[in-house]
A and B are shown apart, each in its own frame.
Chain A
Amino acid sequence: MATSPKLDAKVPDGALETKWTKYRSTVPLVNPANKRNLEILVVGTGLAGASAASTLAELGYKVKAFCYQDSPRRAHSIAAQGGINAAKNYQNDGDSVYRLFYDTIKGGDYRAREGNVYRLAEVSGSIIDQCVAQGVPFAREYGGLLSNRSFGGTQVQRTFYAAGQTGQQLLLGAYSSLQRQISLGNVQMYTRHEMQDVVVVDGKCRGLIVRNLVTGELERHFGHAVLLCSGGYGNIFYLSTNALGSNVTAAWKAHKKGAFFSNPCYTQIHPTCIPVSGDHQSKLTLMSESLRNDGRIWVPKKQGDDRNANDIAEAERDYYLERRYPAFGNLVPRDIASRAAKERCDAGYGVGKSKMAVYLDYADAILRYGKGEANKNGLHNPSEAQIHDLGIAVVKEKYGNLFDMYQQITGENPYDVPMRIYPAVHYTMGGLWVDYNLMTNVPGLYALGEANFSDHGANRLGASALMQGLADGYFVIPYTIGSYLAGEIRNKALPTDHEAFVQAEKTARERIEKLIAIQGTQTVGSFHKRLGKIMWDKCGMARNAEGLNEAIQEIRALRDEFWTDVRVTGDADELNIELEKAGRVADFLELGELMCIDALNREESCGGHFREEHQTEEGEALRDDENFAYVAAWEHQGEKGWNLHKEELVFENIKIAQRSYK
C-alpha cells in the first residue's frame, strides 16, 4: 500500500529518539518583531486551546481565542476525572519514555504514527513540571512528593492526579495562564462565540466566521493561522459522557472547506459509566477508570439472576475480566473491558432493572484497606466492623467524590452495595488529519487536542488525552507553527471585506435563516435522539456490514427529514439555544454518515472499532495488518460524497503484534 501523495506526514528523518530534538533545533524561527504582527486565531479554550493560546501569546504572537461557554474555565476538559500520564518514573518501577511510547502504540492497537507518539511521551514530563509551577495541586505523599496511580493498559504507575478532579485542576492552571495573557493584552478572548466557518483564500486558511451567541451577530476575524482546539464529537451518539455542548461543528466546517477527516469510526466506549435510567436521560456520567484499580467487576454465574448483589455468594459470581485476562485482570484497556461487559449482558447475565449493567464491587478493597489500616494502627484483633470502618475511610479518601456522585445520581449507597456500571461513549480518537506539525492538509489550519486524530490510534489509553492536549498546546505547536509562519511574515493582515470573508459570512447567514424558516413540527432534540440511537445500535460497540449499510440509509433519510421538518423557535439576532443546537445537530447528521462509511471500509477489528465479521474464535478483535495498517483520511467532495486517501503506517521501532492482555 502506498501513501497518497496528498498526505505528507512530514515526520523528520533519523532515529526515533532524535527526531524531535533535531526538529526543534532546525525549525525556522520567527523573530520577536515579526511575531507581533502575526495573528493567530484559536478556536476552543479547553486544555489544548488554553495552553496553546497562552503559550503563543507569551512568545509574542497576537492571539484571539474563542469558546462557546461563558468562560474559558468551563471547557469540557474540566470534567476529566482520573489523571494524566507522564513518563517521570518517580515510582522507580521501570517506566521510561520508550515504555510510555510503547504502551500508547500498543494500546492504540497499532494504528497510530510512531513519530508523533514518541514525541508525546518525550514531552510528557515537562507537562507535569509546568502544571506544578502554575500551582496545580496534584495529590502528594506524606514526604511532599507527587503521588501516582495506575491506569488501564499499563503495568507501571505513571498517572498523576488531583483527587477525581484532575481535568479541573489542569484546566484551571491553563486558564490562569490564559487570563494572565488576557490581562497583559496579548490575548483577546471571545466567550459565548461559536465558530461557523473557516475562510480559505488561495488554498490557505485566513480566518473565521463566528457567531456572537448573545447578540446573534456574525463576525469576521482574520488570522495568519487558525488553530482548531474544539474537542471531540462523541455527542453524535446523543447520550455520552461529554458536556452537552460538545460538538463537531468547527472540525466539520473545516472538513467541508478541504481539511481531511481521519478515522472517524474510532470511537471510545468507556467501560465504567452509570447505566441509563430512563428515556428522559440527557447525558451519561462516567465513573473514573481509576475505580478499576481497586474495584472488581463481576456478573452472576447464572443467567437472569434477580437476587440482590449481596445475596449472591462468592462461588456464584463470575469475575469475567480476571477470568479471561489474568495478566491485566480488571485493568485491561477500555475497548476490551467494554466489549466484555456487552458480551455478558447480551448473553443474559446483566444485572439491575434494565439488565444492561455489570457490578463494580468494592467489598474486597474495603476489607483489604481495612486490614492494612488496622495493622498500621497496631490493632491486633480488630472486629469485622472495625476493619470495615477503617477500610471505608481509605476508600472515601481515594474515591469519595466519585462515590458521592454515584449515590446522588442513582440514590443507592455504593459503600453498601456494588455499583452498577455499563459502557458509554466517551472519546473520539478520530478527527482532523494532521501532519507532524499538527497542521491539517489546508495550509495555515491546525488541529490540536481531541479535535485531531493523531496520537491514540484506534483506542486511547486512560489519562492520555489530558497529556496529549497539553503536549500539543504547551510544547508542540509553539515550535511547529514557526515552520509555517516564518513564511508568512511578509503577508499583511487581509481586510475582512475581502470577497472570501463576505462569501463565507453569507453562507453562514443563509444557513441560519434556513434553519429558522423551516418551522416544522419536530424538536431539534428529537432528531438528535434518533440519530444517536442509529449510531449506538449500528455504529457502536459492535458493527457489521449489514447494519452499517442500513445506518447510512437511515441517516440520509433522517437528514432530509430534519431539513424539512425541524422546528427552531426564536430569532437569529438573540441568544437562541435551539438555534445553537440545530446547527450542531445538522453537522452531526452529516458526520454520522461518514463514520458509518469509514466503519464499513475498515474490514478488520481494531481498538474501538469492532467488526463482528472479524474476530478470533475467543471473540477477540482480529486486526488485518496486511491491508489496513493505514490512516484513513477522507476528503469531502460535496454532493458526490467522500474520497479516501491512505497514509501508510510504518512501524520501524515496534514489532507489530497481536495485542494480548491475557
Chain B
Amino acid sequence: MAEGHSADNMTLTLKVWRQKNRNTEGRFVTYTLGGVSPDMSFLEMVDILNTQLIERNEEPIAFDHDCREGICGSCAMYINGRPHGPKQVTACQLHMRSFNDGDTITIEPWRAAAFPIIKDLSVDRSAFDRIVAAGGYISINTGNAQDANSTPVPKEAADEAFMAAACIGCGACVAACKNASAMLFVSAKISQLALLPQGQAERRIRAEKMVAQMDEEGFGACSNTGACSAECPKGISMTNIARMNREYYGAKLKSTNV
C-alpha cells in the first residue's frame, strides 16, 4: 500500500481516554479496530468500535455529537494531539481517508480547567454559555424592531460580521491553546456585534462584561501564538482578537463598570 493512500479495509490501533466520571481518574485504553473504510467519518469509526464494545459487554465510549455535519459544535475530540485531528474540519467531518492502514490514533477529551471532564471524551463547556449570558447579545425585546431594511449595513461589514458569527462554539480554540485561553471564542462574538450598527449601543459594556466572565471561568491568558485560529474548524480569524483588545481597552479607558 503506497503511503498517503488508505486501504479499503484498514486496521487501526486506537488509544482512547476512558474516565468514568469527574471524580475518578482516567487512563488510556488501547483497542484494535479492523474493517475501517476510508469513506467512514471519524465518528462512524468510533461508532463501530462502540458496537464491538457493547457486543463484548463493555461500556461504549461516551462522546458528544449531534448534527454530524460540522455545525452544531457538539463533537470535541483531541485526535493525535490536535483538536478535531489533522484537517481543519470538525471530528464529525473528518473522514478516515485522512488516515492509513496500521496507524495508531490517540483520542482524548478537550483538556482545560474551565472544561471539566464529565465522562470519557465528554466535557462540560457550559462556561461558554455563561460568557454569552454575560453580554453576548443585543438587548432587544421581541416586537421592538424597526423594519429590517431601515438601517443599511455595508456589505463588507455584514460579511465580516458573518465570518465572526460562523463560530460553532466547539471549544477547539481553547483545546489548542497552551494557556487554554478562550480569547478566540469571546472575540468572535464581540467582533460580530461591534461590526454591526445594531450592536453599537452596548459595545463597550459588552466587551467588559464578557471579558470579566471569561476571566472568572478560569480560562488562561492569550499570548498570541495563533494556535487557536490555526486549529479552528471554521477558520475564525485572529483579527477578531485584535479587534476585541481594541474594544476592551477602549471601554476600560472610559468606564469602571465591571
Binding site for B on A (CB under 8 A): 51, 54-55, 58, 69-76, 78-79, 88, 90, 125-126, 128-135, 137-146, 162-163, 165, 168-169, 172, 175-177, 179-180, 182-183, 189, 191, 214, 243-245, 277-278, 280-283, 285-286, 405, 408-409, 411, 474-475, 478, 523, 525-526, 567, 569-570, 574-575, 577-578
Closest Cβ–Cβ distance, residue A508 to chain B (whole Å) = 22
Known: A177-B137, A575-B119. 6 other contacts (CB 8 A): A73-B169, A74-B73, A137-B192, A140-B155, A182-B129, A280-B47
Task: Report yes or no: B72 in contact with A74, Cβ–Cβ below 8 A.
Answer: yes
B142 near A474: Cβ-Cβ < 8 Å: yes
The answer to whether B32 has its CB under 8 Å from any CB of chain A is no
A78 with B137, Cβ < 8 A, contacts A133-B198, A578-B60 known: no
> In the assembly, what is the distance between CA of A175 and CA of B73, in Å?
14
CA distance A138 to B67 in the complex (A): 22
Q: Contacts A135-B196, A214-B118, A244-B65 known; A179 to B158 CB distance under 8 Å? A: no
Verify B41–A74 contact, CB threshold 8 A: no
Min CB distance B111 to A, Å, is: 17
Contact of A575 among B39, B48, B62, B144 (CB under 8 A): B62
Cβ distance B45 to chain A, nearest Cβ, rounded Å: 8
The 5 closest A-B pairs by CB, nearest first: A144-B152, A176-B137, A133-B145, A137-B162, A129-B145
Tell whether, in the assembled complex, residue B67 and residue A76 are in contact, meaning their CB atoms are under 8 Å apart: yes
| Contact partners of B199 in chain A: CB under 8 A | 135
- Contact in complex: B158, A139 (CB < 8 Å): yes
Select one of A76, A144, A182 contacting B153, CB under 8 A.
A144
Which positions 100-126 of chain B face chain A at CB distance < 8 Å? 118-119, 122, 124-126
Stretch from B50-58, B175-183, B217-225, B236-244 forming part of the interface with A? B50-58
C-alpha gap A577/B66 in the complex (Å): 12
Give the complex CA separation of A172 and B73 in angstroms: 12
A146–B60 touching, CB < 8 Å: no
Contact of A282 among B43, B70, B71, B149 (CB under 8 A): B43
- 6 residue pairs A–B, Cβ–Cβ below 8 Å: A70-B74, A133-B144, A139-B158, A177-B142, A282-B47, A405-B93
Chain A residues, Cβ within 8 Å of B257: none
Q: Considering the chains assembled together, what is the distance between the CA atoms of A84 and B66 in angstroms? A: 23
Inter-subunit contact A179/B133 (CB<8 Å) = yes
B128 is an interface residue with CB less than 8 A from chain A: yes
Assembled-state Cα–Cα distance A70/B165 (Å): 20
Please, how many angstroms separate the alpha-carbon atoms of A575 and B122 in the complex? 10
Quick one: which of B37, B64, B147, B193 contacts A135, CB cutoff 8 A? B193
Contact B198 A134, beta carbon cutoff 8 Å: yes
B161, CB-defined interface residue at 8 Å: yes
Is the CB of B154 closer than 8 A to any CB of chain A? yes
Contacts of A577 in B (CB 8 A): 60, 62
Q: Cβ of B72: which chain A residues have Cβ within 8 Å of it? A: 69, 74-76, 78-79, 243
In the complex, the answer to whether A145 meets B142 with C-beta atoms within 8 Å is: no
- Give the docked Cα–Cα distance between A231 and B89 (Å): 27
Contact A569 B57, beta carbon cutoff 8 Å? yes
How far apart are the CA atoms of A58 and B169 in the complex, in Å? Answer: 25
Query: Is B227 interfacial (CB 8 A cutoff)?
Result: no
Report the minimal beta-carbon distance from B178 to chain A, rounded to whole angstroms. Answer: 25
**Most chain-A CB neighbours within 10 Å: which of B51, B71, B74, B199?**
B71
Q: How many cross-chain pairs have Cβ atoms below 8 Å apart between A and B?
A: 221
When C-beta atoms are compared, the residue in chain B nearest to A56 turns out to be B142
Shortest Cβ distance from residue B210 to the other chain A in the assembled complex, whole angstroms = 11
Are A277 and B39 closer than 8 Å at their CB atoms?
Answer: yes
**Cross-chain contact A135 with B132 (CB below 8 angstroms):** no
Chain A minimum-CB-distance residue to B96 = A280
Does B256 sit within 8 A of A, measured CB to CB?
no
Cα distance, A143 to B154, chains bound together (Å): 7
Q: Which interface residue of A51, A90, A180 has the most chain B CB atoms within 10 A?
A: A180
- Contacting A405 at CB < 8 Å: which of B69, B97, B132, B198? B69
B193 and A140: CB pair below 8 A?
no
What is the minimal beta-carbon distance from A138 to any residue of chain B, in angstroms?
Answer: 7
Q: B51 near A525 (CB under 8 angstroms)? A: yes
A632 to B77, CA, bound (A): 45
B153 CB contacts on chain A under 8 angstroms? 140, 144
Q: Which residue of A lies closest to B132 (CB)?
A: A179
Check if B40 is an interface residue, CB within 8 A of chain A: yes
> A569 and B145 in contact (CB under 8 A), knowing A165-B166, A278-B37, A574-B119?
no
In the bound assembly, the distance between CA atoms of A475 and B165 in angstroms comes to: 25
A600 to chain B, nearest CB (A): 33
**Complex CA distance for A168 and B70, rounded to whole angstroms:** 11
Q: Contacting B148 at CB < 8 Å: which of A129, A135, A183, A245?
A: A129
* Nearest-Cβ distance from residue B126 to partner chain A, whole angstroms: 7
In the bound assembly, the distance between CA atoms of A74 and B128 in angstroms comes to 12
Given A79-B71, A578-B54, also A72-B39 (CB < 8 A): no
| Residue B68 lies at the interface, judged by CB distance under 8 Å to chain A | yes
* Candidates A71, A135, A408, A570; contact of B138 at CB < 8 Å: A135
In contact, B198 and A132 (Cβ under 8 angstroms): yes
Given contacts A72-B129, A191-B126, contact A128 B148 (CB under 8 A): yes
Query: Does B84 sit at the interface, judged by CB under 8 A?
Result: no
A162 to B162, CA, bound (A): 8
Minimal beta-carbon separation of A127 from chain B (angstroms): 9
Closest chain A residue to B193, Cβ basis: A135
**Which residue of B70, B128, B158 contacts A71 across the interface (Cβ within 8 Å)?**
B128
Q: Does B165 contact A169, Cβ atoms closer than 8 Å?
A: yes
Q: A70-B64, A182-B133, A569-B54 are in contact. Are A129 and B162 (CB under 8 A)?
A: no
A169 to B193, CA, bound (A): 13
Counting chain A CB atoms within 10 Å of each CB, which of B20, B125, B140 scores highest?
B140
